[in-house]
Amino acid sequence: MTLAFDHVAVLGTGVIGASWASLFLAKGYRVNAYDPAADAEQNTRSYIQTAWTQLQELGQVSADFDPKRLRFFDTPEEAVKGVQFVQENVPEKLPIKTELYSRIEAGLAPNAVLATSTSGLLIKDLQKGFRDPSRFLLGHPFNPPHLIPLVELLGNDLTDEAAITLAKEFYETCGKVTIRVHKEVPAHVANRLQAAVWREAISLAAEGVASVEDIDKAMTAGPGLRWSVMGPHMLFGLGSGGGGIGEFCARYGDSFHRWWDSLGSVQLNPETIKTLVEGLKAEEKGRDFANLAQERDCKLIAVLKALDKASGS
């Protein structure tokens, strides 16, 4: 699918914005950027070099890729001028986001769509930054957005459906997998799933059931591996021996009810944090942040390539 525009903007080029910018450039878009940090342009250009190598390995770089298509501007008003799609990735603070929206709204092109990457703020609160919020929606990625396919889309009754359709098409031309969130709840869908699993992982560590390292291992060598190929409903349907998810519930429903009743409830208080810090130190075995991030991305690329091959695309 080819969209009728080739010019987008990225506002905020930190962890998420630099990754989005890399992907949009790799897909041949011209990218305008704005970030008030003094070293933002230098950091983003250096991030793009690494991301470009990774995207090239995945066969995700279009022939039009050219880092010169990234242009930094001194103000957000200039950055959004004439573009059809804006991805906002500024800090997770309501006043910063709403102030930015009210600054740029008048200069947006007619029918331009503005998507926020917010992980946890509510669309209904963010809409207060606009006089007309109809072209504003949630386009929530997973870190790093240039590698992880998921983007969660959400609007509400003030959102123009055409804006959501355009965003969906745009993300899909960039190789993303979109889902539609129909009801606004804190943290959307995927982060709620992560939060539920992490709560129990912390509880197991805090209760001394297993070490932090072994809990992480239990996830990556067990359910995590399966979840990268199918979701929990489909997998449990397959766990029925052929009778489907109804049969699975009949067989194992009582067990799950007992397990759910025994799940832990935790707080990230100093004692719990100490358990996690010490446990993770043992798991890291001296590897530093850069090494671990490289290992994560390398393995992610290997999984993405294998899945791509298995699905025959």
Ligand X SMILES: NC(=O)c1ccc[n+]([C@@H]2O[C@H](COP(=O)([O-])OP(=O)(O)OC[C@H]3O[C@@H](n4cnc5c(N)ncnc54)[C@H](O)[C@@H]3O)[C@@H](O)[C@H]2O)c1
Side-chain half-sphere exposure of 106, counting CA atoms within 13 A: 3
The string over 178-205, giving b where at least 16 C-beta atoms fall within 10 Å of a residue's C-beta and e elsewhere, is beebeeeeebbbbbeeeeeeeebbbbbb
- From the list 162, 153, 146, the residue with the least C-alpha distance to 21 is 146
CA distances from 85 to 61, 90, 142, 306 (A): 20, 16, 19, 31
Tell me if 195 contacts ligand X by CB under 6 A. Answer: no
68 burial via Cβ count (<10 Å: 0-12, 13-18, 19+): exposed
CB 264 within 8 A of CB 204: yes
Whichever of 8 and 204 has its CB closer to ligand X, that residue is 8
Tell me if 105 contacts ligand X by CB under 6 A. Answer: no
- Kindly state the smallest distance separating residue 4's Cβ from ligand X, in Å: 27
Whichever of 16 and 113 has its CB closer to ligand X, that residue is 16
Among 5, 14, 98, 149, binds ligand X (CB under 6 A): 14
- Kindly state the smallest distance separating residue 299's Cβ from ligand X, in Å: 17
Tell me if 100 contacts ligand X by CB under 6 A. Answer: yes
Number of Cβ within 10 Å of residue 312's Cβ equals 5
Whichever of 37 and 280 has its CB closer to ligand X, that residue is 37
Among 8, 25, 40, 166, binds ligand X (CB under 6 A): 40
Whichever of 15 and 162 has its CB closer to ligand X, that residue is 15
Among 8, 9, 10, 12, binds ligand X (CB under 6 A): 12
Helix (H) or strand (E) holding 47: helix 40-57
d(CA 243, CA 98): 51
Tell me if 149 contacts ligand X by CB under 6 A. Answer: no
Stretch that binds ligand X, among 87-95, 130-138, 256-264, 284-292 (CB under 6 A): 87-95
CB 8 within 8 A of CB 87: yes
- Kindly state the smallest distance separating residue 253's Cβ from ligand X, in Å: 34
Stretch that binds ligand X, among 47-55, 91-99, 126-134, 301-309 (CB under 6 A): 91-99
What residue ranges bind ligand X (CB under 6 A)? 11-17, 34-37, 40, 76, 89-92, 96, 100, 117-119, 140-141, 143
